[in-house]
């Protein structure tokens, strides 16, 4: 049954080609703080970074030589492993209160169990990528057919929860960051951008205290000066830490960047080609379907 689901939602995305583009294009939009009447002191989202054709397909210095083209004091927030109520909803509430946009890497089985939370993430304007179907341990040791199933079923289930496969960003984070050449070859065959990270806050550690999550995130970001931060929206400790983390980011002069795919993409869904022009975080969409 899972393979049948996957066959209906295989991404063969080719990001639209723009002449003369040779790298990532940083598209600046008004800060999200301007959309929070009565809250002039929120952290907000300073700009949107559009990953255009020519963007590196493997990102994050924890594993790769290149990362996103961020300026000093710019941070990209990412959340893995969800959705899982009530924690994912609490994270969304905290981000909304600060007008912060993030990138989510959702697990297919979790999306199937909690589709309303998936839709809430999307409706709040966050970017949504995938993180396999079941987040198996030893992802790097899976047989090839099982690996393909994990990738494709995760895409299928998150797409189904969204109710709109074109709403899914072509972003993938490897479970456990357990990369291999074989895994990356399969992701490349699906035109997926692989997100590692630039730093972590160890928020998945058992019995970690919220203040330790904040301290580790801040000290590591301050040491690097910028970067992608990997968090999880399935832990009570992360929920408890997040308000203080956002406050300290603002106090230290960090700015939030929202990463989105190029506005035009092409996705194959059960034999149909769907083209969409979407402003992520804005809501305007122009779609055509070629039978």
Question: Model confidence over 177-193: pLDDT tens digits?
Answer: 999 999 999 999 999 99
Please report the pLDDT score of residue 210 as a whole number.
Answer: 98
Cα separation values, 55 from 12, 249, 263, Å? 17, 27, 14
Mean pLDDT of the chain: 82
Tens digit of each residue's pLDDT (9 = 90 or more) over 27-80 = 333 334 336 667 778 999 999 999 987 788 999 999 999 999 999 999 999 999
Please report the pLDDT score of residue 268 as a whole number.
Answer: 38
Q: Identify whether the C-beta of residue 195 lies closer than 8 Å to the C-beta of residue 59.
A: yes
Please report the pLDDT score of residue 281 as a whole number.
Answer: 38
Please report the pLDDT score of residue 263 as a whole number.
Answer: 73
Please report the pLDDT score of residue 271 as a whole number.
Answer: 36
23 vs 170, residue with greater confidence: 170
What is the spatial distance between Cα 206 and Cα 247, in angstroms, rounded to a whole number?
Answer: 24
Q: Choose among 151, 158, 159: nearest CA to 185.
A: 151
> Quick one: pLDDT band at residue 21, thresholds 50, 70, 90?
very low
Sign of the C-alpha dihedral computed for residues 21, 24, 28 and 32 taken in this order = positive
Residue 10 pLDDT greater than 80, yes or no: no
Please report the pLDDT score of residue 29 as a whole number.
Answer: 39
Hunting for tokens 């990209």 — which residue is that? 76
Cα separation values, 236 from 43, 93, 109, Å? 22, 14, 20
Please report the pLDDT score of residue 37 as a whole number.
Answer: 66
Structure tokens at 58: 């493997």
**264 alpha carbon, distance to own chain's centre:** 18
Phi, psi at 3, each rounded to 5°: -65, -30
Residue 146 pLDDT greater than 90, yes or no: yes
Eight-class DSSP state of 223: H
Residue 284 pLDDT greater than 70, yes or no: no
Structure tokens at 116: 């309303």
Please report the pLDDT score of residue 265 as a whole number.
Answer: 52
Percent of the chain residues past pLDDT 70, beyond the cut: 77
Please report the pLDDT score of residue 39 as a whole number.
Answer: 79
Give every CB contact of residue 251 below 8 A, 6+ residues apart in sequence: none
Domains and CATH numbers, the chain: 2-290 (3.20.20.370)
Tens digit of each residue's pLDDT (9 = 90 or more) over 195-224 = 999 999 999 999 999 999 999 999 999 999
Hunting for tokens 């456990």 — which residue is that? 176
> Quick one: pLDDT band at residue 14, thresholds 50, 70, 90?
very low
b vs e for 84-93, b when ≥16 Cβ sit within 10 Å of the residue's Cβ? Answer: beebbbbbbe
State the pairing for strand pair 264-269/272-278.
antiparallel
Please report the pLDDT score of residue 165 as a whole number.
Answer: 85
What is the spatial distance between Cα 83 and Cα 109, in angstroms, rounded to a whole number?
Answer: 9
Please report the pLDDT score of residue 53 as a whole number.
Answer: 77
Say whether 88 sits in a helix, a strand or coil: helix
């Amino acid at each position: 049954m899972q393979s049948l689901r996957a066959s209906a939602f295989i991404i063969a995305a080719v990001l639209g080609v723009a002449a003369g583009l040779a790298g990532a294009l940083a598209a600046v939009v008004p800060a999200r703080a301007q959309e929070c009447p009565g809250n002039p002191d929120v952290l907000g989202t300073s700009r949107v970074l559009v990953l255009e054709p020519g963007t590196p397909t493997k990102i994050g210095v924890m594993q790769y030589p290149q990362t996103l083209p961020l300026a000093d004091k710019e941070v990209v927030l990412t959340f893995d492993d969800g959705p899982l109520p009530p924690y994912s909803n609490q994270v969304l509430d905290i981000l909304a209160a600060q007008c912060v946009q993030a990138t989510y890497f959702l697990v297919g089985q979790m999306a199937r169990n909690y589709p309303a939370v998936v839709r809430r993430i999307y409706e709040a304007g966050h970017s949504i990528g995938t993180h396999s179907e079941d987040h198996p341990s030893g992802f790097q040791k899976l047989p090839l057919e099982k690996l393909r199933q994990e990738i494709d079923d995760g895409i299928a289930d998150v797409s189904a929860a969204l109710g709109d496969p074109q709403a899914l960003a072509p972003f993938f984070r490897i479970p456990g960051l357990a990369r291999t050449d074989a895994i990356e070859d399969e992701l490349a065959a699906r035109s997926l951008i692989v997100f590692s990270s630039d730093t972590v806050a160890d928020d998945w550690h058992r019995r970690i205290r919220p203040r330790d999550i904040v301290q580790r995130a801040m000290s590591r970001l301050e040491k690097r000066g910028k970067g992608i931060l990997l968090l999880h929206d399935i832990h009570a400790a992360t929920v408890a830490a997040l308000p203080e983390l956002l406050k300290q980011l603002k106090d230290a002069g960090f700015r939030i960047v929202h990463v989105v795919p190029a506005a035009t993409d092409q996705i194959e869904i059960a034999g149909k080609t769907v083209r969409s022009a979407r402003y992520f975080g804005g809501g305007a969409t122009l779609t055509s379907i070629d039978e």
